[in-house]
Every structure is written in C-alpha cells, then in structure tokens.
C-alpha cells in the first residue's frame, strides 16, 4: 500500500480489522523488491505465491517489472485488484473502447497509426478541439489540448519525433471544469467527491493545480459509476465523471484501479468515506480468502 498522504495509517487500520477476523497480514511486499526462484515469487523472505491473497494498492506509476510479476502472481493466487482489470484500466484507450462497446457514454475518441496523421487532421476539422492523451499516462502528464488545425500542425513534428506507435485523441468536452470522483468497492458505492480545475487550466487533476471539494453524488452518477466499474471488472474502482454541457449528459472520463483514500486534510474538509471504504475492502478480502481458511 502507498505510504504517503495518510496511506500508512489506512494500512494499519486494514491490518487491524483483518486481524479481528483472524486474517493475518504481511505488509511491505512490494513486487519491485521481489525475485523469482523456480515456482516461488520471493519478496522479503516470503513466498508470495503461497499467500491466500495479494492486495496491491501502490499508487503512482507501476514499473514494467511490477506489472510482469503481478501478472504471474495473479495466475496463482487471488489478487485485489485482479491483474486483468488493473492492466485494462491502466490504458485509457482499451478502457474507453470496452466501455463504449458496453453502452457506457464516454468522450468520443479516435485511435490511428502514427503514420496516419491525415486522419488526425480530419478529426480536428470535425471536433474543432481535441485532447491528445498518452494511453498509459497519469496525473494529467502529457495531455495536450489541441485548439485548432494550426496547433495540430505545430504539434505533429514533435509527436513524430517521439517514439509513438499510435495517436489516441479525444474530443474536447465542453464541461464546467469540475468532475465527480465516485469510489466503488465490490459493486457498491462508498464515496464521492469533486475536483475542480484551477483558473485557466482545463484539467481537474490535483497535480495540474486542481482542488478537491465536497460534492454530493446523485443517483445518475452513482449508477453510471457502478456500471463502469462492473464492466472493467475492478473490485476497487474510482470512476471519473464529467457533465457534457452540449449533449446534456454525464460521461465517464476514466476508471482508476488505485483510487486514493481521503488524505488527513481532505478528511478535515469533510470527506468521510475512508472508514466505509476500509470496511468494504476488509469484507472483500475476507470473502476471497474464506475458501482457503
Ligand atoms: N476529453 C476531454 N475533454 C475535456 N477535458 C478532459 C478530457 N479528457 C480529460 N480532461 C480533463 O483532463 C483531466 C485529466 O484527464 P485523464 O484523467 O484522462 O488523464 P490523467 O489524469 O493523466 O489520468 P489519471 O487520472 O489516471 O491520473 C481530467 O480530469 C479532465 O479534467
Ligand atoms: Mg484522471
């Protein structure tokens, strides 16, 4: 589990609650520190393949090595989140493509080969404004708003210099620069908050200067978040939703596999879902380890 922003305290609470149910927890098993010896994935002297379950909540970028071992481990023991869903939601295109084909409204998007920039020009004509997104990015890094054809022309030589396989772009949605973040655990609603962009920025990410605020959920966004979480298969999901002013409808922007707990400062602001989320996660771990117990 991540240790910053109050993560260490959350971890302690989870461990304590698991103990009350006679489930012993071993903390600090970071796959970055693991190595493989025959049938065993060894980390800090523990054979991870012999655990009843692996709970991974390591925010930030996952290295290829961590993902590689996570995948192997997931074939042997239950993992939360399960690897397949986690891997899916680490990729914006793969997630949006599946959501779209499952009847969930998302921003309109296009994917084309990197040599196919003539298509990009067609899209910008149609949409007027679009957002270029690295499909595996996070924290708003690398997102580029393209305001017109001229911007695209200036940007293309730079994009061509980068070693990209394809271009993933989304229609720029006219929204009020706020979003909903809805947390779902095991199919159930656990909490909601909002984020708003800072002044001139169009991104709500805290790393892009955005801020978190108290926001009541409504039935429509909760229902949408539950459906999106179910389609991705994530046991623990944070669903980002914005309201399209033109089409007058909610859109799922993203599904996150490691939705952060409220930080101590955010809890002081009134974000009070941490305990409910902890309880639901403990229930889930209990449920998934029962067979072996
Ligand atoms: N198609 C879009 N139209 C308008 N605004 C968008 C669009 N896509 C993203 N944004 C804005 O940019 C922000 C960041 O986008 P997104 O969540 O897709 O990437 P990310 O933040 O890098 O990923 P992560 O949330 O995993 O860290 C969103 O929260 C939203 O405010
Ligand atoms: Mg985001």
Q: Which residue has the higher pLDDT, 59 or 210?
A: 210
- Per-residue model confidence as pLDDT tens digits over 254-281: 999 999 999 999 999 999 999 999 999 9
pLDDT of res. 292: 52
By mean pLDDT, which of 55-69, 127-141, 191-205 is the weakest? 127-141
pLDDT at 293 over 70: no
Q: Which atom of ligand 1 is nearest to the CA of 174?
A: 4
- Tell me, using a 6 A CB cutoff, whether residue 202 lines ligand 1: yes
Q: Which atom of ligand 1 is nearest to the CA of 204?
A: 31
Of 206, 139, 130, 136, residue with least CA distance to 173: 130
Which long-range CB contacts under 8 A does 246-249 form with residues at least 24 apart? 246/174, 249/105
- Tell me, using a 6 A CB cutoff, whether residue 108 lines ligand 1: no
**Ligand 1 atom 23, closest CA:** 138
Q: Sheet of 178-185: strands edge to edge?
A: 211-213, 188-196, 178-185, 236-244, 249-256
Q: Which domains does the chain possess?
A: 7-81+282-287 (no CATH), 89-93+175-272 (3.30.470.20), 108-171 (3.30.1490.20)
The model's pTM is 0.95
- Tell me, using a 6 A CB cutoff, whether residue 6 lines ligand 1: no
By mean pLDDT, which of 40-54, 72-86, 153-167 is the weakest? 153-167
pLDDT of res. 175: 97
């Amino acid at each position: 589990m991540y240790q910053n922003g109050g993560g260490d305290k959350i971890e302690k609470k989870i461990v304590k609650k698991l103990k009350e149910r006679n489930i012993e927890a071993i903390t600090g098993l970071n796959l970055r520190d693991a190595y493989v010896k025959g049938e065993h994935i060894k980390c800090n002297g523990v054979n991870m393949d012999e655990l009843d379950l692996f709970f991974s909540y390591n925010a930030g970028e996952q290295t290829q090595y961590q993902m590689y071992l996570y995948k192997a481990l997931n074939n042997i023991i239950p993992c939360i989140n399960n690897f397949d869903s986690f891997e899916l939601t680490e990729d914006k295109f793969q997630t949006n493509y599946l959501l779209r084909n499952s009847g969930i409204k998302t921003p309109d998007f296009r994917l084309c080969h990197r040599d196919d920039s003539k298509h990009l020009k067609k899209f910008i004509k149609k949409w007027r404004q679009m957002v270029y997104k690295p499909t595996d990015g996070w924290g708003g890094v690398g997102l580029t708003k393209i305001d017109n054809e001229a911007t695209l022309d200036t940007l293309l030589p730079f994009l061509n210099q980068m070693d990209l396989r394809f271009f993933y772009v989304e229609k720029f949605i006219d929204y009020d620069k706020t979003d909903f973040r809805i947390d779902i655990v095991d199919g159930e609603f656990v909490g909601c908050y909002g984020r708003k962009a800072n002044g001139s920025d169009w991104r709500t990410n805290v790393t892009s200067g955005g801020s978190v605020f108290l926001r009541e959920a409504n039935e429509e966004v909760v229902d949408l978040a539950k459906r999106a979480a179910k389609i991705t298969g994530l046991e623990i999901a944070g669903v980002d939703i914005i309201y399209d002013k033109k089409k007058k409808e909610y859109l799922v922007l993203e599904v996150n596999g490691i939705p952060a707990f409220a930080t101590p400062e955010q809890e002081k602001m009134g974000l009070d879902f941490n305990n409910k989320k902890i309880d639901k996660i403990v229930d889930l771990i209990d449920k998934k380890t029962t067979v072996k117990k």
